[in-house]
Amino acid sequence: MENNKKLRVAAYVRVSEETKETQHSLQAQEEFYRRQIHEKAEWELAEIYKDNGISGTDIKRREGFVRLISDCKAGKIDLILVKSVSRFARNTLDLLRIVRYLKQLGVSVRFEEQNIDSLTEEGELMLTLIASVAQAESESISENIKWAIHKAFQNGIGNTRRRTLGYHWVDGKLTVIPEEAEAVKRIFANFLAGGSHMKTAKELAGEGITSINGKLISVSAIGNILRNITYTGNTLLQKTFIQDPISKKKVMNTGELPQYFVQDTHEAIIDMDTFEQVQKKLAQNKEMGRFPYNHTGRKYPFTMKVICGCCGRHYTRQLWNTSAIGKKRPTWVCTGKKAEKYRRCGSKNIPEAKLMEASAKVLGVSEFDEDIFFDKVESITVQGVHELLFCLHDGTEVIQHWEHTAQKASWTPERKARHAANRTASPAKTKGASCMTGRIRCELCGMNYNKQTRKVARAGMVTFWKCRGIGNGGSCASEQITHDHLNSILAEALGVAQMTDEIFTGQIDHIGMCEPGKLIIYKKDGGTISCNYELLPMEKRQKPYRPKKRKGNARSQGDT
């Protein structure tokens, strides 16, 4: 570094809790670093970055820290001063990853309490040891806090003052808000009367009734309200818990830890009998595979009979739009597809007509009969992609294959003709189309050739025509041909100096591509011309490129 160029120095300060004492500590740290940087003639102050009341285990929530790293990346900082390793990060992996990233940028981090400079050789080893201790300390503090909370739970004392629709906190006790309580009562009454979550949400939105955040009450919020035992005047403690003190991730308690039920802690909005009726009905709906927005109560021949082989849930009936205007096709869909927000089942949807067809074949009848089906079939398990396992009441198991032909069936001869006429009449409307689009056909597999453009070594960008039967695991043995090569073959066959769009559309009906090195020109006057040609090196089929799998973590150590 040049002698006349000063070192741009920043400081990072943080306190975990926001109180008057910690606020004073934060100001003292800031003033200390500001004075220390100004006292050194070779230093200049870049900025003092600070986070107030933010835990050191979660970097993403620390706005000052995130801005510090961003400015380092922008080349605004040469040196960072920090009081201690625990002020910088309590997570060992986060600390090392960030320090290494800053090291690549040429930015040094100096931890004053431990007297460590990240750019020195022994710096990283010392950081690893000290950060591990800091992380262990954080985990120990978390366990002590959990112990205190559990003791409070055992005494019927909660650890939160969470706002709930229908209640607000007054002197440490939940107190009813009459207007909101009426909305809660209506949600419970509508559900018991057979109304869906969506219908109730629309009804409340139409009346301007909002949630505690001033937003419209959603379908999911109605489901949460119906399951909240707080409305009975009782309290259930430890519904959730912190899974990891480092990530601070909160998860639902499904039996991992004990829960504590405290009776008569506040005024009830819903009586216990009503609440239990609602829970029973919710459980029945879940078992029946009804979604909150598709709450009908109707039963069909396959209700509770079709089971998903992937997730074990039942299939439910839905009406799906088809290509025919005004018609809907009943389709059976696994409830696991929408059962959980981040984990959805990948099982196959089955049209009801296909289930009836497969059932008739298994039962040996000409057409589906509901009475025979109920008498003989216990369940149907959807296996693989197109396989159904029928379990009969007599213990027999039969595997029946089915084919998903909905898309194929929708392409009727009339629709195919209409689509072909549109493509032929105005090929320019289709991106990348030309006068040859749809007119080059493979004589080996019957599929059309598609136009592709890609870069070729020592030739630049080259346009090819390639059979659709080659890709996606197809077994077609035809070869691709360049656009220029095809034009030269056609021009020579027709006896013209150069092939143009006008000549092609005026004389050629279509081209049939045969085995490699041979094609047939089908003329509009009914004649044909057979052409033999020599394949160019770039036209011979190449092995598909498959990138090598990267070992280890795909992200570099410097990625923040």
- Alpha carbon distance 525, 522 (integer Å): 9
Query: Could you tell me if 207 and 281 lie in one domain?
Result: yes
* Confidence at 360, pLDDT banded by 50, 70, 90: very high
Residue range of the domain that includes 363: 306-408
Looking at the fold, whether 198 and 124 belong to one and the same domain comes out as no
Say whether both 237 and 313 belong to one domain: no
* Residue type, position 367, single letter: E
Among 61-65, 87-91, 182-186, the least confident range: 87-91
In a domain, 161, yes or no: no
Any idea which residue has 């799906």 for tokens? Answer: 320
Is the distance from CB of 131 to CB of 124 less than 8 angstroms? no
Query: Do 255 and 177 share a domain, yes or no?
Result: yes
Residue with tokens 């090598």: 548
Whether residues 334 and 439 share a domain: the answer is: no
Q: Is residue 157 part of a domain?
A: no
pLDDT at position 519 is 93
Has residue 362 been placed in a domain? yes
> Is the residue at 369 inside a domain?
yes
Lowest mean pLDDT among 158-162, 266-270, 357-361, 415-419: 158-162
Out of 262, 288, 314, pick the residue that ends a domain.
288
Query: Quick one: what percent of the chain has pLDDT higher than 90?
Result: 20
Do residues 444 and 325 share a domain? no
CA 434 – CA 486 distance, rounded (Å): 14
d(CA 149, CA 146): 5
Asked if pLDDT for residue 487 goes beyond 50, the answer is yes
- What is the Cα–Cα distance from 164 to 169, expressed in whole angstroms? 9
Which of the 8 DSSP states describes residue 448? B
Task: Identify which has the larger pLDDT, 190 or 556.
Answer: 190
Pick from 255, 288, 321: which residue ends a domain?
Answer: 288
Which distant-in-sequence residues (6+ apart) come within 8 Å of 143 by Cβ?
Answer: 245
- pLDDT tens-digit readout, 325-335: 557 788 998 88
CATH of the domain at 22: 3.40.50.1390
Residue 386 CB burial class (10 angstroms; 0-12, 13-18, ≥19): middle
- Residue with the larger pLDDT of the pair 261 and 345: 345
Say whether both 258 and 348 belong to one domain: no
Look at residue 12 in the predicted model and tell me its pLDDT.
92
Residues 310 and 258 in one domain: no
Asked if residue 504 is part of any domain, the answer here is: yes
Same domain, 206 and 312: no
| Count of other CB atoms within 10 angstroms of residue 222 | 23
Residue 441 lies in a domain: yes
For the cut 70, the answer to whether the pLDDT of residue 297 exceeds it is: no
166 exposure class (CB count in 10 Å sphere: 0-12, 13-18, 19+)? buried
Return the residue matching tokens 């820290």: 65
DSSP of 65-131: HHHHHHHHHTT--SEEEES-HHHH-S-HHHHHHHHHHHHHTT-EEEETTTTEETTSTTHHHHHHHHH
Number of structural domains in the chain: 4
Indicate if the pLDDT at residue 239 is higher than 80: no
- Rounded-to-integer distance, Cα 102 and Cα 88, Å: 13
Sorted by sequence, the CB contacts under 8 Å of residue 266 that are 6+ apart come out as 167, 173, 174, 175, 230, 233, 235
Residue 551 and residue 560: Cα distance in Å, rounded?
19
Q: Are residues 176 and 215 in the same domain?
A: yes
Give the per-residue pLDDT at 292: 47
DSSP 166-235: TEEEETTEEEE-HHHHHHHHHHHHHHHTT--HHHHHHHHHHTT-B-TTSSBPPHHHHHHHHH-GGGGT-E
Q: Do 464 and 510 fall into the same domain?
A: yes
Lowest mean pLDDT segment, chosen from 94-98, 262-266, 408-412, 413-417: 408-412
- Lowest-confidence range among 191-205, 369-383, 401-415? 401-415
The total of other beta-carbon atoms located within 10 Å of residue 238's CB is: 16
Q: Is 87 exposed, middle or buried (0-12, 13-18, 19+ CB in 10 A)?
A: buried
Whether 549 maps to a domain, the answer reads: no
* Interatomic CA distance for residues 200 and 206, integer angstroms: 10
d(CA 119, CA 107) in angstroms, rounded, equals 8
For residues 402 and 412, the answer to whether their CB atoms sit within 8 Å is no
Say if residue 25's pLDDT is above 80: no
Answer yes or no: is 199 within a domain.
Answer: yes
Length of the chain: 560
Residue spans of alpha helices (H) in 240-321: 272-288
CATH number of the domain where residue 202 is located: 3.90.1750.20
Residues 22 and 123 occupy one common structural domain: yes
